[in-house]
Structure formats: structure tokens, C-alpha cells
Amino acid sequence: MITVSNVDKRYGDFQALTDVSLDIPTGSLTALLGPSGSGKSTLLRVIAGLERPDAGSVVLEDKDVTHVPPQERGVGFVFQHYAAFKHMSVRDNVAFGLKIRKRPKAEIEEKVDELLGVVGLAGYQKRYPSQLSGGQRQRMALARALAVEPKVLLLDEPFGALDAKVRAELRAWLRRLHEEVHVTTVLVTHDQEEAMDVTDRIAVMSDGRIEQVGPPRELYDRPETPFVMSFLGEVS
């Protein structure tokens, strides 16, 4: 369970998050959905420890991590613009986190083989990132994030830069991946269809606040708040 409680975040005079509280159940795939500038990435970065909140707390699996550095939180992160090591093969990119943790060689080889299979890149392991398509690169980024067995996987518009057809394929693929690995996942997106298609729960954000949280169908069938109604209407 990820528990965010009463988080405020300011950049100078600008209030990016206001009194944000959110529970994310263990093993769920939750979307943070909202228009550009609503504070989705900021909230994700607060959960990851890449931004320190001005008020409030973040608890990961019963441990208060508000003052714990990102590398000690057990989170994996994938951004819109992939950050591959260009000079390393696909295999070495996926193995990187395990190597810097000095895991035994045999364990690394086994884990990397498994992950390359899971993300459908077994046949591409000797290639370099520049020889992959955009969708393949994001799958590699996911394998790399999963390699160190994070407790939490944080995805910030991971498919945002790809064209619609590839995005739809990767959505279906992410859904299957989640069913297989069951890692607690938070997906930031401004794409309502993506949130509806892929996730178990949606937290709708607007102006640095969480407006509504619930299963996709519930939000769609009974959009009680005027904001959610206009947002769902606007995007669909």
C-alpha cells in the first residue's frame, strides 16, 4: 500500500499540490489522470522521493519514507522520454541495475533472460537502443525498471511520445504484464481512454488536488462532480 497524506508542494510561490491524500492498494494498477499542469508528475515525483513535499507524508508498505532518499525506496521509474544507455546493448541496459547492486552473475543472467522474455525482447538483446522502435525502447525501459524487483513501479506518461497504434498495443501489453508480475503500479496519463482501458483505479487530478478516486466504470457511469463530468466529456 502507498499512502500519501496531506501533501503540499510549492515551487516558489506556485502551489503545485494542495492537501493531496491518496491510498494506492498493494498490487493495484492505478492511474493519475488529469489535464496538463494538474500536478500528476509532481505527485509521482513526491512518491519516488525526487521531490520533497512542503507538508504531509508518504508511506510505502507501513514505512514512512517522507525523508528517505529515492534509491532506498524500492521504486522503479519510467518516463515519457526513455533514458537508455545508448552505448550499451539491450541486454546490458536491462542488467544495469542488477550489476551496480553486485548481484551474483548467474542470478543476473537468469533474471535478465526472464525479463527480456516478459517484455518480448528476447530476440533483440544484442541490439542497441537506437536499433529499436519507440515501443520496443519503452518495453526495454520497463524491463530495466522491473529488474531490481521494485515494490512500486511509477510510470510517467510512458507511451505519450508514441503514435496511437503503438500506444494501444502497449496499453494491452502493460495490462498483461501487470497481471503477470503484480507489482503495485501508478500510471500517470492525461489520456482518459488509456486510464479507462488499463487501470483498476483512477485518481482524477485538477489544479494540484485529487478530485475523485474510484474504479474506471464507476467514475464513468456516475461522474458526480462537475469537474469529472467536464473532464471525461472533454477528452472522450
Give contact residues for ligand ADP (rule: CB under 6 A).
11, 14, 16, 34, 36-42
**Strand-by-strand arrangement of the 2-11 sheet:** 14-24, 2-11, 55-60, 63-64
For residue 70, give the DSSP letter: G
Residues 40 to 79: which contact Mg ion by CB under 5 A? Answer: 41
CA quadruple 68, 49, 198, 230: dihedral sign:
positive
The residue among 20 and 147 lying less far from Mg ion, judged by its C-beta, is: 20
The residue among 34 and 76 lying less far from ligand ADP, judged by its C-beta, is: 34
93 sits near Mg ion (criterion: CB under 5 A): no
Instruction: Residue 141: name the closest of 31, 100, 154, 200 by CA.
Output: 154
Quote the least distance from Cβ 87 to ligand ADP, whole Å.
Answer: 29
The residue among 14 and 86 lying less far from ligand ADP, judged by its C-beta, is: 14
Quote the least distance from Cβ 14 to ligand ADP, whole Å.
Answer: 6
The CA distances from residue 132 to 22, 141, 144, 170, 190, in Å, are 37, 12, 15, 15, 26
The residue among 47 and 147 lying less far from Mg ion, judged by its C-beta, is: 47
189 sits near Mg ion (criterion: CB under 5 A): no
Quote the least distance from Cβ 114 to ligand ADP, whole Å.
Answer: 32
Q: Do the strands 14-24 and 2-11 form a parallel or antiparallel pair, or are they unpaired? A: antiparallel
Element spanning 43, H or E = helix 40-48
Quote the least distance from Cβ 149 to ligand ADP, whole Å.
Answer: 27
Quote the least distance from Cβ 185 to ligand ADP, whole Å.
Answer: 17
From residue 132 to residue 171, the character string flagging contacts with Mg ion as x (rule: CB under 5 A) and all else as - is ----------------------------------------
Chain residue at closest Cβ approach to Mg ion = 41
How far is 90 from 59, CA to CA, in rounded Å? 34
Residue 234: CB atoms within 10 A of its CB come to 9
Task: Using the rule CB under 5 A, give the single segment among 18-26, 35-43, 69-77, 221-229 that binds Mg ion.
Answer: 35-43
Count residues binding Mg ion (CB under 5 A): 1
Radius of gyration of the chain (CA): 18
How far is 46 from 120, CA to CA, in rounded Å? 31
CA quadruple 147, 152, 156, 161: dihedral sign:
positive
The residue among 30 and 41 lying less far from Mg ion, judged by its C-beta, is: 41
The residue among 18 and 66 lying less far from ligand ADP, judged by its C-beta, is: 18
Quote the least distance from Cβ 111 to ligand ADP, whole Å.
Answer: 32
Grid coordinates of 191: 489520456
Binding site for Mg ion (CB under 5 A): 41
